[in-house]
Amino acid sequence: MNKHLYGLLGYPLGHSLSPLIHSELFSIAKKPGEYRLFSIPPHQLFKNTEVFKELSGFNVTIPYKQDIIKILTRLDDTASGYGAVNTVLVKDGELIGYNTDCYGFRSALYDARIDSFDSILLLGCGGVGRMIAFEAAKRCNNITIAARDKEKALALCNELREVHPGINADSQALDTIDGSFDLIVNATPVGMFPDVSGCPIGEDVISKCRAVFDTIYNPLKTELIKTAER
């Protein structure tokens, strides 16, 4: 194992600024470290387990936050509760999965002074979408999930109701969203570099919300955020 080698697993990764960000973090912390991109197509994912064991740790992004669990030794409590992983620690030959997305989500809401919300529209139900759904269910009573995969969105709603009895969780198609919401969260890649002109929902829906949260950071202001600001 290379104790100073880290990386990001995902596909594709042309949008990622992670090497730049982590190189700066290593410099600030005055610690040695190298950060690489591991852009691995789906048909090769499970052929690269030994490659991961040579790292000290790695981050996980679209589309592997759930699939990666199949090759992990175990999950930390931060990941097991969400069924999704974004960080893996390599220790003594073990691959241990964590989820720090939940902390990032909570911190971002705190920084934006979004102290409370009773209704949320969640766009997407992949790895980060699952995390936000379960985290939001701790804080609000009404969750609407809209995604391209309608069956997956419905299944997530059923999971939420099992964990949080009494919660109002329903699914809608992305093109038929109706109603007003305290918070809209985009957990889809729509609007991500290089397709920066995309917006997952229309202005008519955005105009009826109180706040918008986008999980995309490249570009810093997506078309969704620009529309919400207008």
DSSP 158-205: HHHHHHSTT-EEEEE-GGG--S-EEEEEE-S-TT-TT-TT--SS-HHH
pLDDT of 115: 83
Which residues form the catalytic set?
65
pLDDT of 84-104, one tens digit each? Answer: 899 999 999 899 999 998 899
Q: What digits encode the pLDDT tens for the residues 1-19?
A: 667 999 999 999 988 999 9
The CA-CA-CA angle for residues 29, 193, 66, to 5°, reads 70
pLDDT digits over 158-211, tens only?
999 999 999 999 999 888 898 899 999 999 999 999 999 999 999 999 999 999
For residues 118-144, average pLDDT: 93
Which residues pair with residue 143 across a beta bridge? 120, 169
Mean pLDDT, residues 63-81 taken together: 93
- Token couple for 108: 């971002």
Per DSSP, the residues of 106-124 read HHHHHHTT----SEEEEE-
Residue appearing with tokens 């000290």: 56
